[in-house]
Structure 1
C-alpha cells in the first residue's frame, strides 16, 4: 500500500510539472465546447394527446351475439406499429416536408430521421397516448404532429371490415359444404329406416319388448284356441252321443244335463265369486250379489230343463233333429267351429310374427350398430351446421357493429401545439459538462506530457528505472528569487483555473437569466 501511495505521489508531481500545458489545453477545449454548445440549434417540441374510449354502450348490449374484438390490444398494437415506413412516407406528404427535398437520398435521410425522432407513448393505463416530435422549426413540428394524429385516428381499425367479410365468405362456403353432407346423411338414414322398418314399432318399443309382447299374445291366443276347441268338442259330444240329452230322463238326472249358454255364465260368476271371497267376507255386498246372480242362473237352467222335458213329453214321436234345443245346439256348434277357425288363424299369424321377430333379433345388434353410426354422422354434421350458421350471424352482427363506428372512440384531448420556448438542448446542463470535460482534458494532457518527458524526483525511482547504481543525490536549496518565481507561476495557474470556471459560471448565469425572462 505504501508503494502504491509513493507511485501516486510521483505521478502527481510529474503531472504538476506540466500544469501550464494542461491549463492551456483546458482553456482551448473549454472554448471549443462552449462554442459548440452555444451553436447547437434550438429544438421546439410539438405534442398532442389522444384518448381512446373503448367503453362503448354497444359492447355489453351485443355481448354473446357478436364477436367482441380486443380493442385495447388492437389500439396498443397500432400505437407500436404506427411509425412504420409507409406511414412515415405518408406523413412527409401530408406535412409538406418533401417540398425542398432534392433527390432520393435526402428523402431517405428524412424518413430515417423522422422514424427515430417521432415518439408515441402511453400515459398510464387509461388508453391515453401522447404524440411528440422535435424540430428546429416549431411550425414544421406542429404540422408533423398534426399529420401523425390524423394517421393514428384513420388507421384505428382500418382492415377489420375486410377481415369480417373474408371470415363471412369462408363461413358461407363451409355452410354449403355441411348442407350437402347433412343432406347425404339424411338420405342414408332414410334409406336405412325404409330397409329395416321392422325395427320400429308404432309405440316406440324396441325389438326385445316387441318380442316379449308377441310371446304373451301368442300364448293368450293358444289358450283361447284350446278353450274354444274344448267347448266345441263338448257340443259335439252332446249332439252325436249314444243317448240324446234332450229326452226326458229319470228324476235327479237334471244335474248331468249341460246347457252351454247358461253353464258358461254360471262358471264365469263362480270364478268371479272365488276372486271376491279372496278379498272380502261373505257379508260384502259384491259377494252377496254374485251369489244371488248364480242362484238366479241355476233357477233359469232348471226352468229351461223343465220346459224341454215338457216338450219331449208332449211330442213323443218327434225326432231329435226336429227338436228346437237340438237345432240351437247345432247353431252353437257352428259358431264354435267359426270361433276355432278364427283363433287358429290368429295363432298362425302370431307364430309368423314371432318367428320374424326372432330372426330380426338375431341381426339386430349389427343393424343397431349401423344405425348408431349413421345417426352419429348425422348428429355431428347437424351440430357443425348449426354452429356455423350461428357463427355467420355473429359475424354479420360484428360487421354491422364495426360499421357503426362506436367500438372505439378517438378523442383529441390536447390538439397539436408547439412549445414557444425551445426544449433542447439543455445548455444549463451542457455547459457544466463542458467545463468538467475541459478540466479533465487538461489534466489528461499534463499526464501524457509527464509520460513523454519523464522527470525523476528521488534516487530510488531513478535507480529502479535505469537499473544503474546510484552513488548519491544533490539537493537543491531554492533561493528567494526562485521561490518568488514559483509563487508567481502558482498564482497564474490558479488565476487561469478560476478564470475558466468564472467564464463558464457567467455563461450559465446568463443563460439562466435569459430562460427565466423568456418564461
Structure 2
C-alpha cells in the first residue's frame, strides 16, 4: 500500500467516523461499560501464599557422623506426600469447616479432591517449599492455608519426636550391643592370657639375648679353665710326688777298692816317682775303677742313708688341678643347662610368635570395640538431648519462612486496571470496525484505488473532490454537541465509578490530593 492510498484510507475512516458518529459513540460506550461489567461479574480467585524451610538432614546424621552412612532425606517430597494425603486434607477440611462430617461420602470426597487441587506446592529452592491456596473468598484462602501450616507443623513435630525417640532407642540398642561385644572381647583376651603365660615377644627376645650372652661368656670361661687344667697337668707331670734327701750315700766294692788303691798310690808316691811301674799300674787300676763306678747303678752301694719328703709344689699343683677340674665340670654342666634354657627360650619364642597374631587380633578387636563403645555412649547422650529438644519443640525439621499471607487482591488483572483499559478498548473497537468498513466496502472512496483497479491503459480522467466543511462547523452542530455531552456524562460517571467504587478513593482523599497538586503548582 503506497502513501497516497494510506492517506486516502485515513480520510475515509475519518469521514465514516463523522457519518456514523452516533453508532460509534454507542459502540464505544457499550464496549467500555461492557469490559468493566464483565470484569466486575467475573468470579474472582484469591490466593494465599506461605513459604516453608525444610531441613534436609536426618536426626541420625549428626549422631552417627563418622560411624555410618545415613541416607539423605528428601524433606520436599516428604512434605508433598504429607500435604497431599487424604487424612491430612480431611483434618484441614474439618478445621476450616469445608466438611462437617455429616455430609455423604460423595460430597466429602468431592470437597477433599477440590482441596487437593487448590493446595499447590512449588519448590523455590533446594530447601524451600512454597504453599499456595486459591479460592473465591480471601478469608477462606487465608484460613485454609493457615490450617494447612498448623496441621503440617503439628504432624511434622510429632513425627520428629517419634524420629528422635526411634534414634535414641536405636543408638541405645547399639550401645548395649557394643557393650556385650566389649565384654566378650575382654573375656576372650583374659582367657588367652591365662592359657599363654609365655610373655611377649620382647620379653622372649630379651631372655634369648641374655642367655646367648651368658653362654658366650661361659664358653670363654671354659676355654680359660681348660687351658689352666692342661697347664697344671703339664706342670704336675714334671714334678715328683716326693723328694729323696741322701744323708749318706754308702760305698760299693769298687769304691772301697778304689779307696784302697788310692791309699796304695799315695804310699807308692812316697817311695817312687810317677813313672815307676808300680805307680803306673796302680794309676791304671784307679782309672778302670773310676770308669766302673761311673757306670754302676746306685743300688750296688752299701750303707747308703736317704730321707723321703713330700713335694709341696706337687701337692699345690695337684690341688690346683683338682679345683680347676671341678670348676671345669661345673662350667660344662652350667653350659649344658644354659643350652637347654636357650632351646626352651627358642621354643617359647615360637609359641609366642604363633600366638602373637591371635593376641594382636584379640587386642585390636578389643581396642576397636572399646573406642566405638565410648563414642556410642557420647552419641547416646546427644540423642537423649536431641530427643529432649524435640519434645520441647526446639529441633523441628520444618520452619515457617513466611506465614500465610492474607490476599488483599484477587489474582490476575485488577478491576481498576480493566477499568482504565476499558476506554482504550472501546476506542480501539470503534476504530477497528471503521477500518474494516473502509477496507471491505465495495464503494470506491479514492482515485488511487480506482487507478490500481483499472488496467494501465485506462486512465482516470478527473476526480470530483468531496466538499469538507471545517471541524469547527461540524462540532458546533447540535447533534454533535449533544453527542459530546452524552459522552462526557458517560465518561464522568465511568471515571467516578472507577475511582470511588472500584479503587476505593474517598472524596476527602481526592480533594486533599487535588489541593496538594494545586498548592505545589502555585508554589
Please tell me the TM-score bracket, short chain as reference. Answer: 0.5 to 0.7
Q: What is aligned with 1:516? A: 506
Corresponding residue for 2:144? Answer: 144
- In the alignment, the residues of structure 1 paired with residue 471 and residue 150 of structure 2 have an alpha-carbon distance, to the nearest angstrom, of 77
Aligned match of 1:503: 493
State the alpha-carbon separation in 1 of the partners of residues 234 and 428 from structure 2: 150
CA positional deviation for 1:363: 12
Query: How does 1:28-177 map onto structure 2 within 5 Å?
Result: 28-39=30-41, 84=84, 86=86, 87-99=88-100, 103=107, 106-108=110-112, 110-112=114-116, 114-115=118-119, 140=140, 143-144=143-144, 147-168=147-168, 171=171, 172=173, 176=177
Structure 1 residues 404 and 231 mapped into 2: Cα distance closer, same or farther (>3 Å)? farther
Distance 1:5 1:502, change over 3 A: farther
C-alpha contact 2:24 2:430 (8 A) present in aligned 1:
yes
Structure 2 unmatched runs, 5+: 56-61, 66-72, 246-306, 510-523
Question: Residues 112 and 502 from structure 1, CA distance in 2 versus in 1: closer, same or farther, beyond 3 angstroms?
Answer: farther
The offset of 1:94, in angstroms, is 0.6
Contact 1:66/1:395 (8 A) holds in 2: no
Task: Tell me how far apart the structure 1 counterparts of residues 482 and 356 of structure 2 sit (CA, whole Å).
Answer: 116
Secondary structure of residue in 2 paired with 1:457: coil
Correspondent of 2:450 among 462, 473, 480: 462
TM-score by length of 2: 0.56
Cα distance change, pair 246–350 in 1 and its aligned pair in 2 (3 A): farther
For 2:179 and 2:3, locate their aligned partners in 1 and report how far apart those are by CA, in whole Å: 91
Provide the residue aligned with 2:437 in structure 1.
Answer: 449
- Indicate if the aligned counterparts of 1:235 and 1:333 stay in contact, CA closer than 8 A: yes
Shift in CA distance, 18/212, structure 1 to aligned 2, threshold 3 Å = farther
Distance in 1, Cα, partners of 2:244 & 2:497: 164
Matches of 2:13 and 2:194, distance apart in 1: 111
Residues in 2 aligned to 1:190 and 1:10: alpha-carbon distance in whole angstroms: 118
Instruction: Note closer, same or farther for the CA distance 1:346–1:111 as it changes in structure 2 (3 Å cut).
Output: same
The question of whether the paired residues in 2 share the 8 Å contact of 1:175 and 1:388 is answered with no
C-alpha separation in 1, matches of 2:453 and 2:242? 169
How many residues were matched structurally? 420
In the superposition, relative to structure 1, how do residues 434 and 484 fare at CA in structure 2: closer, same or farther (>3 Å)?
A: closer
Instruction: Give runs of aligned pairs for residues 289-438 of structure 1, distance below 5 A.
Output: 336-352=324-340, 387-388=375-376, 390-407=378-395, 423-424=409-410, 426-438=414-426
Alignment partner of 1:471 is 2:460: yes
1:439 aligns with 2:427: yes
Higher-RCO chain (CA-CA 8 Å, sequence separation at least 6): 1
Unpaired segments ≥5 residues, structure 1: 55-63, 68-72, 249-315
Offset at residue 334 of structure 1 (A): 5.6
Please, what is the CA RMSD of the aligned residues? 6.1
Seen in structure 2, the aligned counterparts of structure 1 residues 411 and 371 have a Cα distance that, compared at 3 Å, is: closer
In 2, the alpha carbon distance for the partners of 1:380 and 1:518 equals 84
Q: CA deviation at 1:93?
A: 0.9
- The offset of 1:244, in angstroms, is 4.7
Residue 221 of structure 1: how far off its partner (Å)? 1.4
